[in-house]
A and B are shown apart, each in its own frame.
Chain A
Amino acid sequence: EDQVTQSPEALRLQEGESSSLNCSYTVSGLRGLFWYRQDPGKGPEFLFTLYSAGEEKEKERLKATLTKKESFLHITAPKPEDSATYLCAVQAAGGFKTIFGAGTRLFVKA
């Protein structure tokens, strides 16, 4: 069964303290791995798509990387406005649905 597990459930950082969020996945043929950001009371906002092991994508202070079993979202020198829930999701080859993990809640304190 296709599955996505994210860790940690919650992460508290000081402003400027870099860290990484983990997404482990099991899928029968990966078509794509996605990262989203979700703010309270809003729908998820798309960040990145990764397709194959070794691929990296960057956006401002965020960098996503992909291996055959995991993806990492690296946050460099975070700011309080980076506080949100970060969701990882996978789409299996031959399937229509995207399967989401439970997310990591990130809190960045000034």
Chain B
Amino acid sequence: GAGVSQSPSNKVTEKGKDVELRCDPISGHTALYWYRQRLGQGLEFLIYFQGNSAPDKSGLPSDRFSAERTGESVSTLTIQRTQQEDSAVYLCASSLSWGESYGYTFGSGTRLTVV
């Protein structure tokens, strides 16, 4: 596609429920990243994919968070047993390769609200 697409754009869930967030990167982009942005704060790195492997998942906050990627395509970020502190905007980005000098192309994010 023309850009990075994320769905849903908004998600309200009850505490304790599981949620799945989806990211469709730009076609041909081998590198994919997930970031979390809490209100008024900077972007917090979660995980990096190169193809369908994840060389760096050091930013995942706990074992309730997991992510997978199918080939060089769609990625899903799953949060199990959601907590109120998980409320944030989850941003996905892609680039042609790791260390792309043109920077990342970001999606518009999924705003997650845990009530």
Q: Contact residues of A with B, CB < 8 Å?
A: 4, 31-32, 34, 36, 41-47, 49, 87, 89, 91, 95-103
Q: How far is the CA of A49 from the CA of B98 in the complex (A)?
A: 14
Q: Are A43 and B106 also in contact (CB < 8 A) when A31-B99, A91-B99 are?
A: yes
Q: How far is the CA of A24 from the CA of B91 in the complex (A)?
A: 24
20 CB contacts below 8 A, A to B, read A31-B99, A41-B108, A43-B4, A44-B43, A44-B91, A45-B106, A46-B105, A87-B43, A89-B43, A96-B50, A96-B56, A97-B33, A97-B45, A98-B45, A99-B45, A100-B42, A100-B44, A100-B45, A102-B40, A102-B41
Q: Contact residues of B with A, CB < 8 Å?
A: 4, 33, 35, 40-45, 48, 50, 55-56, 58-59, 91, 93, 98-99, 101-109
Q: Are A87 and B42 also in contact (CB < 8 A) when A42-B108, A96-B98 are?
A: yes
Residues from chain A with a CB closer than 8 A to the CB of B45 are 97-100
Q: Are A97 and B42 also in contact (CB < 8 A) when A45-B106, A49-B101, A91-B99 are?
A: no
Residues from chain B with a CB closer than 8 A to the CB of A103 are 42
Q: How far is the CA of A89 from the CA of B93 in the complex (A)?
A: 14
CB within 8 Å: A-B pair count: 59
Other CB < 8 Å A-B pairs besides A42-B108, A46-B103, A98-B45, 4 of them?
A: A43-B4, A47-B103, A97-B33, A103-B42
Q: Is the interface of A mostly helix, strand, loop or mixed?
A: strand
Residues from chain B with a CB closer than 8 A to the CB of A101 are 42
Q: Does B109 lie within 8 Å of A43, measured CB to CB?
A: yes
Residues from chain B with a CB closer than 8 A to the CB of A97 are 33, 45, 48, 56, 58-59
Residues from chain A with a CB closer than 8 A to the CB of B59 are 97
Q: How far is the CA of A41 from the CA of B37 in the complex (A)?
A: 11
